[in-house]
Structure formats: C-alpha cells, structure tokens
Amino acid sequence: MHRNGIVIFVIIISCSFKAVDLCHSNCECTDKILTCHNFTKNDLNSVKFHQSITADLEQVYITKGDIPELDIRNLCIGDKRLDSLITLDLTRNGITRITQPFYDCVPNLEELRLSHNHWNVSTIEVNIFQNMTKIKKIDMSHAFLDNSDFINIADLQAVFSDNNLQALEELSLDHNEFSIFDKNSANVVCAFPALKKLDLSYNFLPKITLYHKTCLPRLEYIDLSWNSIITIDDYSHNGLLFSLDFIQSGKLPNQTMLTVNFNGNEFDCDCGLLEFRNWLISTNVTVASKNELKCHNGNLLNRTIVSVQSNEFKCFSVNDSSSTEHIVIGVLVTLLVLVVLVFSVCVFLNREKIKRFVKYRVKSPGENEYMSVDDTVDV
C-alpha cells in the first residue's frame, strides 16, 4: 500500500513536470486556461506553443504582443478544433488583420476580446464572424486605427451582416472615433436580436437614430456618453427617444428595465432641446444621472436640463439677426458717406494750395524743391 502511494505520487510529479516542459516560456499553462504575453507571429507558429494547447482548454489569453496578422488556425491542434474554448482574449496585439474565420478553430466561442488593436474599419475581413452562432460578447473597443476624418459604423456592416450572430448580447464599440451613425449604421446594430448591451461611448457621434421600431427589442443598456451630441431629434417614429420608449414599452415586469447614458455630451439648451427635456421628465426609460445632465451654452450654462423651464428654451431668431445686420450695415454706409463728403469739402477748399503743392513737387532739377510754410495745405 505504501509503495502504491509512492508510485502515484511519482506519476503526479512526473506529469506536472511534463506539463511545465510542454508550456511555452511566455505562457502559463493549466488544463483549462492558457495565458500568454508578449507574443509575436513566430511564437504562434512555434512547436512549443502548439504543445501548450490542449483539447480541454476553455479560456485562452494572448495579450500585449506584436501580431499584426493573425491566422486563427494557429490555435487549433493540427486539424482539430478547440470545441471546449468559450473565452478568447486577443487584446493589445497590434492586430491589423485576421486571415481566417474564428469558426475554423473555435466554433463554440462565447466571449471574444479584440480591444486595443489597429484595424482599419473598412478593411476588416468580411467573414471572420461567420457561423459564430454561440458568441455572446464581442469587445472591439479601442480596436480601430483609421486615418479618415469621418468613420462610419456602417463600414462594419460587411463584417457583421449575414454572420448569424443571433446570440450576441454585448457589443462594445467605444473609444473608436466613430463620427457617423446613419441609417446604414442602424442596420448594423439592429441585426442582433438578442443584444442587451451596446457601448458607443467615447466616440464623436453627433446623432443617434435607430430608424426601426423592431430594432434591439431586448436592449437593456445603451451607452452614448462622451460623444458630440448637442441636441436630440424631435420625438418621432424614427427618432431615438421614440425608439427607446418603444423598447421599454415591450419589457415584461420580470425583465431588466432599459437604461441609457447621455453623460459627457455638451447639450445646447435652445428651443430644439425642449422635447428632450420633456422626455427626460416623463419617460419610463432609466436615464443615468438624469438630474446631472447640464446645458453648455449661453445664459443657461451649467444649468441642469430638467431644471430649465419650458419658456427658457429659446432659439436665436433669424429675422432678428437680419434686422440687426441691416442696421449695422446702414450705420457703416452712412459713416462712409460722411467721411467721403468731409474729404471732398477739404479738397475743394484747398484746391489752389493742392495745385501749387503738386506743381512744386514736380519741378525740374535745380529749382527749389521745397514749398514755403505758407504754401502748406490745410486739411
């Protein structure tokens, strides 16, 4: 019995040393979790890394590396896929391109982290999410590095459309300098019927419109904070406020209430924002820090939007502006006419002296070049 215990102990120790020996030097390996840092493309292609991969892996973290081009097949065990893998973290690798669909290697993936990489929005391979029917969370924050002045979320349409992301519940697109959210952009995010959380914060979006009444029926949280929103469209069937109310109205008592975050936007509290203020007061949608949203213009600067009375939301009158401009122009023209008249009178009264002045200035050499003091012109 004692000998059997020793044998078992030796086997366990031997297996442990074997597992350590098979693990890449930049990785930490367990049966279900593989964590690697500071990887390059050569590391991904190395025998040592392939030995670190086991069929039972559930979580893989490959971060803080230098992998501009990633072939997802490097994660496979030969021709075998990692069917047990549910979490894949590829953050901070400088990825500009992924050459193969994730489904080729990790078909049952539920969470994918691609943040802090260097993609160009318009050049992402269109099929990388193809057949990923079980994925629930995609993090693409800080993921794009574009030189364009105007980055449209609609450019992601080719990436997400027709890829059967029916189970996707969370999508993070924050910190990406997106500046356009149009109808085609709405088609991108509205393609996810199970989506519960949409993060669009820290972009440059001036306007958000969902356009479709059936868009995002299960939405629980949408983050629009720290964008460039200064006003909200009127309450209409295509407007954001109507869409949020419509989503909330479809919630069952046991479902999570819809929350929207507008913090960090610099609202202009003119007459165009009155409907938004009224909506803030009456809506059943939960608005994060609703009582702290402030005006960023004119006499209402730093006033909370909900505290501003209806009659205080005023717009600058175009007619008043035109009248003021006409008055200013009239005054300037009058002053110019007066200056011309005064100058003309002075010239007329001093015409003889001006003639003598001109005559003396054009004298030939040898003649007196200077006028007497009495000949100076009185202006």
Residue 101 belongs to domain with CATH number: 3.80.10.10
Residues 13, 102 share a domain = yes
Q: Determine the pLDDT at residue 22.
A: 83
Backbone angles phi, psi at 114, to 5 degrees: -125, 20
Q: Determine the pLDDT at residue 363.
A: 54
Residues 272, 248 share a domain = yes
Whether the pLDDT of residue 345 is over 70: the answer is yes
Looking at the DSSP assignment, which residues form a beta bridge with residue 197? 170, 221
Residues 236, 345 share a domain = no
Residues 158, 47 share a domain = no
Residues 269, 176 share a domain = no
Q: Are 202 and 225 in contact (CB under 8 A)?
A: yes
Closest CA to 294 of 264, 274, 261: 264
Q: Are 149 and 178 in contact (CB under 8 A)?
A: no
| pLDDT tens string 117-146 | 998 876 677 788 989 999 999 999 999 887
Read off the pTM.
0.78
The structure tokens listed for 92 are 């901070």
Q: Determine the pLDDT at residue 379.
A: 44
Q: Are 87 and 111 in contact (CB under 8 A)?
A: yes
Last residue of a domain, one of 62, 83, 118: 118
Residues 262, 201 share a domain = no
* Reported confidence tier of residue 361, pLDDT bands at 50, 70, 90: low
Average pLDDT of the residues of the chain = 84
* Reported confidence tier of residue 163, pLDDT bands at 50, 70, 90: confident
Q: Determine the pLDDT at residue 106.
A: 95
- Count how many domains the chain has: 4
What's the whole-number mean pLDDT along residues 299-314? 94
Q: Does residue 323 lie in a domain region?
A: no
CA 123, 64, 226, 201 torsion-angle sign: positive
CB neighbourhood size of 364 (10 A) = 5
* Reported confidence tier of residue 324, pLDDT bands at 50, 70, 90: low
CB neighbourhood size of 26 (10 A) = 19
Q: Does residue 215 lie in a domain region?
A: no
Q: Determine the pLDDT at residue 362.
A: 55
Q: Does residue 214 lie in a domain region?
A: no
Residues 6+ apart with CB under 8 A from 321: none
Residues 185, 273 share a domain = no
Residues 351, 311 share a domain = no
Q: Determine the pLDDT at residue 141.
A: 97
Q: Determine the pLDDT at residue 10.
A: 37
Q: Are 55 and 82 in contact (CB under 8 A)?
A: yes
Lowest mean pLDDT of 13-17, 66-70, 119-123, 238-242, name the range: 13-17
Range of the domain at 357: 329-375
Closest CA to 108 of 64, 186, 55: 55
What's the whole-number mean pLDDT along residues 64-74? 93
Closest CA to 90 of 121, 133, 59: 59
Q: Are 215 and 191 in contact (CB under 8 A)?
A: no
Residues 302, 338 share a domain = no
Q: Determine the pLDDT at residue 313.
A: 93
Q: How many CA atoms lie within 13 A of 377 on its CB side?
A: 15
More confident residue, 324 or 49: 49
The CA distance from 19 to 92, in Å, is 27
Whether the pLDDT of residue 348 is over 80: the answer is no
Q: Determine the pLDDT at residue 336.
A: 85
